[in-house]
Amino acid sequence: MRKIILPIIVVIALAMVLLNINSIGKNIMNYVNGSKDVVILPGNEYRKDTDYLFVKRVNSYVPYSYNDLVNIYFNFINNGWNTFTFYCPSEYSECLNDVDKIRKDKTLLSNINNFVHPYNSFDRINTAVASSGEVTLSLTKLYTEEDIYQINKKVDEIMDELFMGEENLDDTEKILKVHDYIINNARYDIERNEKGTSQYKSNTAYGVLFQGYAVCSGYTDAMAIFLSKMGFNNYKIATDTHVWNAVYYKDENGKEKWVHLDLTWDDPVVKDNPSANYINHKYFLVNNSTLLKEDESKVDASQTFANHDFDKSIYLEFKED
């Protein structure tokens, strides 16, 4: 009996060794080839078919530089994927180190997030790295499917109301109607700003459109959803303390250009009457110079400084005024 069992044990052991060798070999091939077993799914309906100066769409998910990695992160988020795995090739010796840098750079990840449609933006993002060169990205989106359904339905209703019989409006007039609607139907959420918490979802478009309360991220997401629905190329610009919209539009003279649009600062809060409904247009479709000039005018004892000192190495469409 022992003579029979011993060969069986040897065969099983050899099989396990061979399986491990195959697994190791597969990981080595993934690392060397970079593209093996990479599954590329179609983007969802909110994928932007647009290249920006800082981030661009890609066809290959094999990185050979830090910029390639940044673009892979952008495409992962922009496509609306929940998880994605790619591999570092052997030719790119610093690949895993650069992945680790990006993984830890919350500011960079937040900036990349600003170039995608709000519905594809993440609330949390995670990077898992294996020594074999395998990198797996996963995220939790800010908006649920139910949120998206409700917001889209509301946006369609609002647009029907705003634009019925207004087929000849120019770009400025279209954007102005939405800008004014949002401000007239939402107020700044002082509680979230001061305490960091709120009973309202004011940091999202849902809070703006259904609860009537917003902070800067809520105003900006709501405006971005409308802009995309109307066909305007747009993204969000952020500093450490603030976020607002960038939009590419055609002005009254027919010139196409990138401009700033900040609903938060066009919806001022008056301290002695915070429930009052005021509206400004000082930050409506303005260039860099006007944006910063308005900021300078707010440095006084009664108002908080409006922080629009954004990173021009990220938001390169605004590198020049």
In the chain, where the domains are located: 33-141, 145-318
In this prediction, residues 310-315 reach a mean pLDDT of: 96
What's the pLDDT score for residue 165? 86
pLDDT at 305: 58
CA–CA distance, 225 with 218 (Å, rounded to integer): 11
The mean pLDDT value for 286-311 works out to 77
C-alpha to C-alpha distances, 316 to 26, 42, 93, 235, 300, nearest whole angstrom: 41, 28, 29, 12, 31
242 phi and psi angles, rounded to 5 deg:
-155, 160
Give the model's pLDDT for residue 299. 56
In CATH terms, is domain 145-318 a member of 3.30.780? no
Q: Which residues of 102-119 are buried (b: 16+ CB within 10 A; e: fewer)?
A: bbeeeebbbbbbbbbbbb
Q: What is the mean pLDDT of the chain?
A: 88
pLDDT digits (tens, 9 = 90+) for 74-84: 999 999 999 99
Q: How far apart are CA 38 and CA 26, in angstroms?
A: 13
Task: Out of 9-13, 164-168, 205-209, 262-266, pick the least confident.
Answer: 9-13
Q: Dmax over Cα atoms in the chain, in whole Å? A: 95
CA 106 and chain centroid, separation = 13
- The more confidently predicted of residues 167 and 58 is 58
Alpha carbons 62 and 67: distance in angstroms, whole number: 12
Residues forming beta bridges with residue 127, ordered by sequence position: 137
Residue 2 has pLDDT above 80, yes or no: no
Q: Which residue has the tokens 């949120």?
A: 147
Q: 161: which residues sit within 8 A by CB, 6+ positions away?
A: none
Mind listing the pLDDT tens digit for each residue in 200-245? 999 999 999 999 999 999 999 999 999 999 999 999 999 999 999 9
pLDDT of residue 293: 87
